[in-house]
Each structure stands twice: as structure tokens, then as C-alpha cells.
Amino acid sequence: MKRVLHRAWAEIDLSALDHNIKEVKAVLPKKMELMAVVKANAYGHGDEAVCKRLAELGVKWFAVSNLEEALSVRKVCPDAEIFILGYTPPECAEDIAKYNIIQGVMSLEYAEELCRYAAEPVRCHIKLDTGMGRIGFRSKNANACAEELLPLFAMEKLSVEGIYTHFAAADSPEDDDIKYTEMQEKRIFDVYDRLAELGHKLSHIHCMNSAASIVRPNEKCTLARVGIVMYGLLPNYPVELPIDLRPVMTFKSVISQVKEIEEGDSVSYGRTYTAESTRRVATVTVGYADGYARLLSGKGKALVHGTACPIVGRVCMDQLMLDVTDVSEEVRSGDEVTLFGDCEITADHLASLYGTIGYEIVCGISKRVPRIVIE
């Protein structure tokens, strides 16, 4: 990589991805397949490189958010099972079938609309709302829910293959949240069992997200939907998981200028930082337009020659400033800066500084930031 070509870039370490997948598979029941969640451009990591490597590792199932993402994965993985978790406009039913995509179906009305536009049967999994409160069929008991689902099996343009739900708090160690997850789990299994009693034995049932896949894998599930841990981040930082994770993305930039400022000098917009003594300040060529949040102004740190240097002043659209006074080595223009990644500063840690989650950090790295794949 020629550093001069990159003012800010994200290194995607495929060996870290390999490691994380191995760690996850080690805790899953042997007959359970891993469904890799690669929506949002593989959580900002770049779906082409990530999906290609996952396929090489034997992953056959991929979950996405929409049809556009599904078609992107299909180009890289022609033989994969690709599942759309959420809504696709019904008028796209023909493309869903054409490209052998599996669609999530969340209501009877939506199923009818899919069938109205479909030229051939659309493969689908039924979404149950067992307590998340977003989308899906929701009934008071398993029998009532199963009865509500029966019309789906009679639709000629619908091929029902599975059932799924999403846990609301599986990443929480609190007793109330554990009980809530147990309740959600029981609801979907009860509906699955009732459908089987009614003559509709489904091929797949899945409810486990990253956290549940690690801490409470259930052998009755056929698929484990693994997302954030695959990329080396925690579902609920700082709650640890009993596996070893390695961040796949490391976000870097370079220093454009180093200058000395005196006591009383201010830095950046709004004069929110004023030097209390003589300081050395380095300008770094990255900002909030690249995905490094303005909310990290005065809070975040970045590594220069291995030293964590605090941000001074407000983060700008394309630049930010670091106090490099305490760096033992000479800091020069062109020196590399590590903003987060496989180091003491993680995306999870940065997220905690301004009340968000690591997911948002990596997903928020903008398209103008090139992803550099490394082995």
C-alpha cells in the first residue's frame, strides 16, 4: 500500500476474520450452520472481500437487509443461500425468485402482495415478533399464531421454508433480560412445534444473534445468525464474551502538519480548546465526513508511534488535531495515525465515549474511505 494515496483508509484483516469464525464455530452445535450477517456492506468492512473469504471458509448462508445487498452478495457467492431479513418492495418479487433469494415475510398482507407480483414461487422464512416489537406476526399464544400462519402455506407463489425471530436483549447478563430472552425463545419454538403438529414441518428455525450464539446456543436451531462478533466487536461492550475476538477493521490516517502552540492559543472551531502551556499539535487528515464522529471532539484519542494522543478542539469535516507533546519520537508530516482497530483503542471503546455502540462506528466509516484488504 502506498500511504501517499490514502489520506484516510480502513485496513480489513482477513486473518482476523478467519480467527473469529473459527472461535464462533467452536461453540456452536455441530449440526448448526452459521448464517453470516453481511448487511450494511458487511458492517462497513466491504461485502465483496468479506463474503468471498467467508465462502472460502465454508460459510453457505448470508443474511442481508435488502435486495440490493442480496444481489451484491450473489455476484460474489453464486451458490450461496442469501436471506433478506427485512422488507423488500413486493414488486421486486420476480427478482427475488430469479436470483434464488430467500425473503423474510412479516405479515399476511405482505405475503399476498409478494404473490401478486411473483411469476414463480418466492422462497421465504416467516418472521415472528416474539418481543422485539418491530416487524413480524404476533399472537397471544402458539396455537393462535400457528393458525394465523396457515394461509401462507396455501399460497402457490410462496415456498415457506423456515421461521425466525430476533432477540431484544440476548446480549444482557441481567436476570430480567435473560428471562425475557427465554420467553422469546419459548414462543418461537412453541409456534414451530405447533406448525409441525399441523403438518408443516419447516426446514429451518433461527433466532440466535451474535450474543445468543456464543452464550446460549440452542441445538434446536438450524442456523446461527452471527454478525458483530464476526467482525471482532462485542454485542454489548464492555460485557465480555467467552471467546477470543480480533477486530477485523483498523482505521488509519496520516499527519499533514505539526506545529507548536503557546499558552493561550486556541484550536479549531468554536475555540473549545485553549492551550494551558506550550504544546505540539498535529493535524490529521480525517474527519466526520470520513466517519470519525464530531462527538469525539475532546474525548477521543489516536495512536501516534504507539502513544495515545488526545484530540484537541473540535473534529472538522476532513481534519482533526492531536496533542502529540508526549510522544517520545519525533512526529512529522506523513506519520501514520491509528484511530481504532487491533490496538488499545477499539471501535467499542470509542463508541462508549459518546454513548453509541461499536456497530455504528464501523458502519459509519464513509464510502470515500478506501478499504484495504490485508491477509
Question: Active-site residues: which are they?
Answer: 39, 269
With b meaning 16 or more CB within 10 Å and e meaning fewer, what string describes 141-176?
ebeebbeebeebeebebbebebbbbbbbbbbbeeee
**How far is CA 208 from each of CA 16, 94, 118, 199, 335, rounded to the nearest angstrom?**
22, 30, 30, 25, 43
Its sign, for the CA torsion 88, 91, 93, 98, is negative
* Helices 47-56, 14-27: crossing angle, 10 deg rounding: 50
In degrees, to the nearest 5, what angle opens at C-alpha 57 toward C-alphas 339 and 202? 110
Residue 359 phi, psi dihedral angles, 5° rounding: -50, -50
Query: What is 50-107 written as a DSSP string?
Result: HHHHHHHTT--EEEESSHHHHHHHHHH-TT-EEEE-S---GGGHHHHHHTTEEEEE--
